[in-house]
Amino acid sequence: MAATCRSYDGAADFEAVGRFLVRTCRREGPHVNWLQPRWEYMHYHPLIRGVDVSRTGVWEDGGAIVAVAHPEHEVGTVYVEVDPDRPVAPQALLEYAETCLSVAKAGVSRVGVFIHDRDVGFQRAAAAAGYVRTADCEDMTYLPIPSPFPDVSVPDGFRIRSLADDGDLRKTRRLLWRGFNHPGEPSEEDVEDRRFMQSAPNFREDLNIVIEGPEGEFVSYCGMWYESHNGLAYVEPVCTDPDYRRRGLARAAVLEGIRRCGELGATLACVGSVKPLYRSIGFQWAYRTTVWAKEWASGELVGDGQERP
């Protein structure tokens, strides 16, 4: 039986897609799906409020999910997740991206699809459909978690804590606001955004690490997600207050989060970054996905007779 495509229903499909990502998790190969924690983080990030997630496509075969084509925090850029044992044709995924997930501006429609750099078959299908490889890309790095884990320390006057020790939303939000270089001070709405993010089903206060400064303020943060089925620690997000950078605080926060996941059973830590911080910890490059983009005059018809948006 050929897989059939339908629109995503957030209420019914959020957890089902999460289970699909856990089931199809591979650490290497011609295509590597998102980790389940990224799917969850996407849905509990405030930017999701501006995204029509119903435009996501879900393919099923015999009642089982076998592929998903979806945006993250903006429509027009598409990620694809596939079951390597029950593949959906790249042409079908690309056509769905063009039909349902593209954006139009000034008479021109555009869509960009992330394709794994080792997925030669998908690349060939994209090139045949008029897509062009761009410079936009994402990298994934891995760190095998050592056992026993080395001691984690911070400079005098600082303390390693977690949100289970002190879950003050305003201190947390101020750190993240400043840590990601936003100007001024966060608003009350920003505090509610943080509350929303912490309501994710698998958010664990004890795995979200903060470094506390001499005055009790939060000065560095590492968000950490534990995916138990595949033994994975997923790092997201990490930041340090500008007044406290270059003191090894973010490094300590990341290491402490990984150490705690290791105690729970994680054997591999993953982060979608090649920044020097992670290289200094020992993360090694694993793979890259690159955006392949296509543009066309709005109003053209696709192969099945439907008009592109």
User: Residue 307: its pLDDT value, please?
Assistant: 44
- Per the domain annotation, does 278 fall within a domain? no
CB half-sphere exposure, 19, CA atoms < 13 A: 7
Contacts of 147 (CB under 8 A, 6+ apart): 262
Which is it for the CA torsion 154, 155, 161, 167, positive or negative?
A: negative
- Per the domain annotation, does 305 fall within a domain? no
Report the CATH number that the domain containing residue 89 is assigned in CATH.
3.40.630.30
Domain shared by 154 and 199, yes or no: yes
Domain shared by 180 and 99, yes or no: no
Domain shared by 28 and 53, yes or no: yes
- Per the domain annotation, does 183 fall within a domain? yes
Domain shared by 239 and 194, yes or no: yes
Domain shared by 111 and 180, yes or no: no
Q: Which residues of 70-107 are buried (b: 16+ CB within 10 A; e: fewer)?
A: bbbeebbbbbbbbbeeebbebebbbbbbbbbbbbeeee
Burial class of residue 143 (count of CB atoms within 10 Å of its CB; 0-12, 13-18, 19+) = buried
Domain count, the chain: 2
User: Residue 298: its pLDDT value, please?
Assistant: 85
Is-contact 101 71, C-beta < 8 A? yes
Q: How confident is the model at residue 4 (pLDDT cuts 50, 70, 90)?
A: very high
Q: How confident is the model at residue 109 (pLDDT cuts 50, 70, 90)?
A: very high
Q: Which two tokens stand for residue 58?
A: 């879900």
Domain shared by 251 and 160, yes or no: yes
Average pLDDT, the chain: 95
- Per the domain annotation, does 45 fall within a domain? yes
Domain shared by 113 and 222, yes or no: no
Burial class of residue 46 (count of CB atoms within 10 Å of its CB; 0-12, 13-18, 19+) = middle
Q: Could you give the CA distance from residue 197 to residue 140 in angstroms, rounded to a whole number?
A: 23
At residue 39, φ and ψ (nearest 5 deg) are -60, -45
Segment 78-86 mean pLDDT: 96
Q: Which two tokens stand for residue 270?
A: 């993953």
- Per the domain annotation, does 307 fall within a domain? no
Q: How confident is the model at residue 2 (pLDDT cuts 50, 70, 90)?
A: confident
Segment 160-186 mean pLDDT: 97
The count of other CB atoms within 10 Å of the CB of residue 185 is 11
Is-contact 298 105, C-beta < 8 A? no
Q: Which long-range contacts (CB under 8 A, 24 or more apart) does 88-95 make?
A: 88/3, 88/59, 89/125, 90/121, 90/122, 90/125, 90/126, 91/125, 91/129, 92/5, 92/59, 93/57, 93/67, 93/69, 94/125, 94/126, 94/129, 94/131, 95/129, 95/302, 95/303, 95/304
Q: Which two tokens stand for residue 15?
A: 């957890």
Q: Could you give the CA distance from residue 17 to residue 81 in angstroms, rounded to a whole number?
A: 10
Domain shared by 169 and 106, yes or no: no
* pTM score, whole prediction: 0.94
User: Residue 303: its pLDDT value, please?
Assistant: 42
Q: Could you give the CA distance from residue 87 to residue 58 in angstroms, rounded to a whole number?
A: 13
How far from 41 is each of 37, 48, 77, CA to CA, in Å?
A: 6, 10, 17
Domain shared by 14 and 133, yes or no: yes
Segment 109-113 mean pLDDT: 98
Q: Could you give the CA distance from residue 211 to residue 197 in angstroms, rounded to a whole number?
A: 20
Domain shared by 29 and 133, yes or no: yes
Q: What is the percent of the chain where pLDDT is above 90?
A: 93
Report the alpha-carbon angle 286-254-225, nearest 5: 75
- Per the domain annotation, does 282 fall within a domain? no
Alpha helices in the chain (DSSP H): 10-23, 36-43, 90-100, 120-128, 169-179, 188-197, 249-264, 276-281
Q: Is the peptide bond before 148 cis (omega within 30 degrees of 0)?
A: yes
User: Residue 125: its pLDDT value, please?
Assistant: 98
User: Residue 300: its pLDDT value, please?
Assistant: 60
Domain shared by 42 and 76, yes or no: yes
Q: Could you give the CA distance from residue 298 to residue 103 in angstroms, rounded to a whole number?
A: 9
Q: What is the span of the domain harbouring residue 150?
A: 146-266
Residue pLDDT, tens place only, 288-298? 999 999 999 98
User: Residue 154: its pLDDT value, please?
Assistant: 98
> Can you name the residues that pair with 116 across neighbouring β-strands?
289
Segment 21-37 mean pLDDT: 96
Segment 184-205 mean pLDDT: 95
Residue 299 has pLDDT above 80, yes or no: no
- Per the domain annotation, does 303 fall within a domain? no
- Per the domain annotation, does 275 fall within a domain? no
